Structure 1
Amino acid sequence: MSDSVSDCTKPRTVVTEPEVEALVRGICFKTGPPRTVGVEVEWLVHGLRSPQLPVTPEQLAAAYAALRNLPLRSALTTEPGGQLELSSPPAASLMECIGTVSADLDTVRAQLREHGLGLAGFGHDPWHPPRRFLHEPRYDAMERCLDRTGPAGRAMMCSSASVQVCLDAGYEEPGPLGHGRRWWLAHQLGAVLVAAFANSPLAGRTPTGWLSTRQLNWMEIGPGRAGAPGLDGDPRDGWARHVLDAPVMCVRRDAGPWDVPEGLTFREWTRSAAPPTRDDLDYHISTLFPPVRPRGHLELRMIDAQPGEDGWVVPLAVTTALFDDPAAAETAYRAVKPLAERAGPLPAPHNPLWSAAARHALADPELHEAARICFAAAVEALPRLGATTEVMDAVRAYQDRHVIRGRTPADELLDRLSGTEGRPHGKDIRT
């Protein structure tokens, strides 16, 4: 959601429907050896003394003004509800990525402490209702558009946070690291990642009945905005069709509020009397929020923000290992293939498998088994990717504490809420 806004004052160079197809095919899947990795880490911001009290807009504005002057290697942006996002530059290795983001986070935290603020890792704000901090034409239009499908859009904009792993699209040729296999794997493994890292069971301090409420919100936004293309056929063709058939969120204006058309697809816009420009196409793609977004690389968007200062390292390390190590990628492919058959033909995340991952997480037996296999493969692969002992220890600790036991950070949040820490939940928590 932190994509840059293109300049709508540029000269208009319209694009036709065939040109859109060609452009999308060319820019969204850039194939080659998997060499780089990145991560986008989102955080909720809270007061250090009273984390459960809302932070005032004035306090946020003062802190964020100071953050803009920090010498960071990562891009630091603000989400509509005041969440912070740190986006790493492409790194040549997993450890380079972790080192860059860790150093930048230390700098950001130190500056926030001077303003009495800290960062909290939850997939969905467990305390406060959605409240918008940024009031800009883009977010005014987004709110108007998303309100048409219910309250989930505002929750996504203002109350959610994630760990987004960015990986190269892969080789043009078939194989464990081929772009077709990686595209398929990203969507099928995505449900396992939702389940294994579920960390958003609360809203308004009350259990929602879902261990990943953040994923529930994405599903409720609707398939046109947050769905995925069908996975049969060429990924480029499927994504190009999806972009063309997705609804237009807004038509930008040089002055005044932006238009928010209802039911207008980008394909229909290209056939209108006032067709869109290349800049409009770029902007339209930035308003689509699928679980996996191709941006030249693959952006995996389904993982809840994690607790602890370094909790984000584990999903980054595990996901990178399962995609970039050929043996681990093959193991993950075999582990999730039965899950794909269970999910049926519907595209993720709008299918029973992803719903089960968001509601029950690793309490689902098949997701639990797939997660156990995938974590074991990642642990075996990480030394081959140069992971340090510290990273390996963090992954093993998560594996022992959560995955092997069929639990997630969401389960621990519910334990603390109900006063049953360390004991199984009753059925009323899960349903």
Structure 2
Amino acid sequence: MTTPGSETPASDELLRLDDAAEHVAGICFKTGPPRRLGVELEWTTHPARRPAGHLRAADLGHALGPYAPTALGNPEPVPLPGGGTVTLEPGGQVEISSAPATSLTALYEAVSLDQAYLADLLARSGISLGGHGLDPHRKPVRILDTPRYAAMHRAFDRAGSRAGRTMMCSTAGLQVCLDAGPPHRVAARWAALHDLGPPLLATFATSRTHAGRDTGWASGRMAAWHGIDARRSGPVPRSADPAAGWAAYALDAPLLCVRGDGGVWETPDGVTFADWVRGALSRPPTVDDLDYHLSTLFPPVRPRGYLEVRYLDAQPGGEWIAPLAMLAALFADDAVTDAARDLAAPAADRWLDAARDGLADPVVAACAADVADLACRHLDRTGLPGPVRDTVADIVDRRVRDAAPLRKDLSR
């Protein structure tokens, strides 16, 4: 804020677009040797005896006990035994966010421990975890009431976006986090994660059914993301400079909300962050406002210092290790990463086709099979024990093989 009697703005106010863009570009890609991996696993939650029934936030709070997140009123959440933290999404989806690990084996062991512990903890209260990227039993109902989620709800409803409510309350994803890499490789790793998106999305789609009906999409979860404003959820446009491209995307995205002191946050209609910097609202934005705005953007790949892959559906049981191991294998070596990008190139921009048709799309399917073969040939680079590598290869082979009859039928 401007100090009374002074014309000098406080250092955290953003009065120029160049300053805002410089801030975004400066924090989004932290460079260095790629050593760490992380994963976030998300599940819908259901009454075990009546999966179509709705839980209450209090039910989850009671079941989670000391592990419940702050959104449920717990001021000091306790990490799970493997080090992961629990968060809660608006429709009652539960998420484990792992601590970063320097080996895939360590990450797999820690997250497997946390997954088993969480499932047992919830089961004691009669709650089960879903196994799909989209709730197959229920229509979306928001059970978590926070200013952020209330503002999101209003914004999507005002835009007439049923997909927004579905995204908030019915979807469950698998997010993989990778280091951005050294400066000379950042652009290539960023581009490769995008190019691999359609083949990997199609290979691991698990969300055709929603609320008891066939959505017509291999990934109904991604259909929901496609149904909201592409300026917030679409892929970041290609650019020779990923940091500058992300900064432009972020500043051109509409505000989801403006935080206030009370329980109701403002939801400006159609105002972008760039508009806010230009004076569209009653006060100028701050650096903290910009950082918060970045958390309301949901492209398929999002830079957060590290690179966050967001295009994968939740997987049944422990099968989340398969897409994670594939990505780890493909990004363990620069030459393999570049080869994977070449193999994925014909399907690189087929996001809609991959989400709608999955591996029934012949272009996406051919790329998926080639990428899967490359990844499985390099699973030894992940450091995973032999039995786990065999499990990963079996899962990947089954996903690609099971789609072959459908592709043959469509070609007739």
- Mark yes or no: TM-score above 0.5: yes
Distance in 1, Cα, partners of 2:49 & 2:372: 37
Task: Name the structure 2 match of 1:419.
Answer: none
Letter in 2 for 1:100: A
Distance in 2, Cα, partners of 1:78 & 1:427: 41
Which of residues 194, 204, 208 is equivalent to 2:211? Answer: 204
Task: Name the structure 1 match of 2:139.
Answer: 129
Which of residues 293, 298, 310 is equivalent to 2:307? Answer: 298
Distance in 2, Cα, partners of 1:252 & 1:157: 19
Which of residues 67, 81, 87 is equivalent to 1:77? Answer: 87
| SS state at 2:196 partner | helix
State the superposition RMSD in angstroms: 2.0
| SS state at 1:41 partner | strand
| SS state at 1:163 partner | strand
Matched, 1:336 2:344: yes
Task: Name the structure 1 match of 2:182.
Answer: 171
Which runs of 5 or more residues in structure 2 are unaligned? 1-9, 69-76
Which of residues 185, 194, 200 is equivalent to 1:193? Answer: 200
Task: Name the structure 2 match of 1:220.
Answer: 227
Seq. identity, %:
44
Distance in 2, Cα, partners of 1:283 & 1:327: 36
Alpha carbons 1:66, 1:111 under 8 Å: kept: no
Matched, 1:286 2:286: no
1:236-251 map, 5 Å: 236-251=243-258
**Inter-CA distance 129–427: structure 2 relative to 1 (3 Å threshold):** farther
Alpha carbons 2:49, 2:126 under 8 Å: kept: yes
| SS state at 1:324 partner | coil
Alpha carbons 1:43, 1:83 under 8 Å: kept: yes
Distance in 2, Cα, partners of 1:379 & 1:249: 41
Task: Name the structure 1 match of 2:96.
Answer: 86
Q: Structure 1 residue 143: deviation in Å?
A: 0.7
Alpha carbons 1:190, 1:302 under 8 Å: kept: yes
Task: Name the structure 2 match of 1:8.
Answer: none
Alpha carbons 1:317, 1:382 under 8 Å: kept: yes
- TM-score for the superposition, normalised by structure 1: 0.85
Letter in 2 for 1:264: V
Alpha carbons 1:30, 1:169 under 8 Å: kept: yes
Task: Name the structure 2 match of 1:7.
Answer: none
Which of residues 310, 314, 319 is equivalent to 1:311? Answer: 319
Task: Name the structure 2 match of 1:36.
Answer: 36
Cα-to-partner distance string for 1:120-153 (whole Å, 9 max, x where unaligned): 1211001100011111111000111122141000
Q: Structure 1 residue 373: deviation in Å?
A: 1.2
Distance in 2, Cα, partners of 1:256 & 1:424: 50
Letter in 2 for 1:146: F
Matched, 1:14 2:13: yes
Task: Name the structure 2 match of 1:6.
Answer: none
Q: Structure 1 residue 233: deviation in Å?
A: 2.2
Q: Structure 1 residue 362: deviation in Å?
A: 0.7
| SS state at 2:298 partner | coil
| SS state at 1:315 partner | helix
Which of residues 367, 372, 375 is equivalent to 1:378? Answer: 375
Alpha carbons 2:67, 2:79 under 8 Å: kept: no
Cα-to-partner distance string for 1:67-126 (whole Å, 9 max, x where unaligned): 336542111100111100101111101111111111111221221121111211211001
Distance in 2, Cα, partners of 1:221 & 1:260: 16
